[in-house]
Amino acid sequence: MARDLKFTRNIGIAAHIDAGKTTTTERILYYSGMSHKIGEVHDGGATTDWMAQEQERGITITSAAVTVPWNYKGNTYQINVIDTPGHVDFTVEVNRSLRVLDGLVFLFSAVDGVEPQSETNWRLANNYNVPRLGFVNKMDRQGADFMNVVRQVKDMLGSNSLPLQLPIGAEDDFKGVVDLINFRAIVWNEEDKGMTFTEIEIPADLLEEATEMREHLLEQVAEFDDNLMEKYFEDPNSITEAEVLAALRQAVIAGKVVPMMCGSSFKNKGVQAMLDNVMALLPSPLDQEAITGTDPKTGDEISRKPSYDEPFCGLAFKIATDPFVGRLCFVRAYSGKLPAGSYIYNPRTNNKERISRIFQMHANKQNQIDELGAGDIGAVVGFKDIRTGDTLCAEGHGIILESMDFPDPVIGLA
């Protein structure tokens, strides 16, 4: 049965070099791959265990896209984490990766804040109207300052950054956060490497600041939603978590706000909460109304909706060699379905080719799948003539995506 696209997230992780992109990605893979055997996580083990496993099985965390499951509010989501090259220059590769993802987690170092590469990547993401979530990493480091980074995102990047949390403890003593949406405080449990947390009373010395920040958050979110605005004036306490998240999500997708969270991926703190908010606040493939391209015969603009019922179209965004399966072509599907073993038309070569197998790269295995459906990302084997940037489509339903820009800006991140 085809997956419900609303449970898919195609995300990238963008960062200035050294902000912790590799560590954070490793943690994401590790948590999702190991979540069924949490008890086996031992001290400081995540990185080394993962690396050893990687070498052993020849799977690379720098794969063009890795698929991980994530449970959130009773549903299993599929996250495709797309590698976002961190180059400062405006390479085709960076542009292409921004094109195939639907949302970004933007990492900052809590010590260094907005750095030159963050500015470049931020502006590129603006060009593609990519909704984003800010994660201020390295909160355990000396000189870490979450609110300073929140301010910098406003002042230097010109975006409406909105803190969702208030850190508890600083530097070496960073141990938890006040969640401003639920207005509860949590500290991460050290013994299971931050996989779980304990709820505590909001520390008395933070209560006033936390109350003010929650007020600010509710006021901002109410701005995006008339019904919430009414409730906000009548009784702000009657506003539920679900209502805040729903309004915030719309605002994030429309580029009106960048929610900001914090943590320390090295110390296993905050990455899980960040992933929860990837599900809650970043778009699914369904949130993009359609992808536009040109008709290879007439040059006219045509579009495809993110639906299994449309003719297939997808973009080849990376070609890689895998030690086990050979040459892989990473494809982002936008519409329709591509079954393994079927023929696919390439408008560049004007040929159709039979593809053999389709894989998804997981944290600890490669999964062969029967078909690649709209909104999903997979690695296709069997092409004889393929280049990155090629559009793949159903025969008789030609479309060329690469030469096109994304649809009209629905988003106004500026």
Residue list, annotated binding site for GTP: 15-22, 83-87, 137-140
Is residue 140 part of the contact set for ligand GDP (CB under 6 A)? yes
Helix (H, G, I), strand (E, B) or coil at 293: strand
Least distance to ligand GDP, CB of residue 165, Å? 15
Least distance to ligand GDP, CB of residue 167, Å? 13
Is residue 193 part of the contact set for ligand GDP (CB under 6 A)? no
Least distance to ligand GDP, CB of residue 273, Å? 14
Is residue 138 part of the contact set for ligand GDP (CB under 6 A)? yes
Between CA 384 and CA 249 the distance in angstroms is 42
Q: Give the nearer residue to ligand GDP in terms of CB position, either 274 or 333.
A: 274
Between CA 365 and CA 50 the distance in angstroms is 12
Q: Tell me the C-alpha to C-alpha distance, in Å, between residue 164 and each of 21, 139, 179, 203, 221.
A: 21, 15, 6, 17, 11
Contacts of 276 (CB under 8 A, 6+ apart): 72
Least distance to ligand GDP, CB of residue 216, Å? 26
Is residue 97 part of the contact set for ligand GDP (CB under 6 A)? no
Write the interaction track for ligand GDP spanning residues 1-20; mark x where CB under 6 A is met and - where it is not.
Answer: --------------x-xxxx
Q: Give the nearer residue to ligand GDP in terms of CB position, either 15 or 275.
A: 15
Backbone φ and ψ for 161, nearest 5 degrees, come out as -80, 140
Least distance to ligand GDP, CB of residue 141, Å? 5
Binding residue for ligand GDP, selected from 264, 268, 288, 294, defined by CB under 6 A: 264
Contact assessment for residue 16 and residue 117, using Cβ atoms and an 8 Å cutoff? yes
Between CA 28 and CA 411 the distance in angstroms is 28
Pairing state of beta strands 313-322 and 343-346? unpaired
Farthest CA pair distance, the chain: 69
Strand stretches in 325-394, DSSP E? 326-335, 337-339, 343-346, 351-354, 358-361, 366-369, 371-373, 377-380, 391-393
The size of the interface with ligand GDP (CB under 6 A), counted in residues, is 16
Is residue 81 part of the contact set for ligand GDP (CB under 6 A)? no
Binding residue for ligand GDP, selected from 21, 193, 249, 357, defined by CB under 6 A: 21
**Footprint on this chain of ligand GDP (rule: CB under 6 A):** 15, 17-23, 137-138, 140-141, 264-267
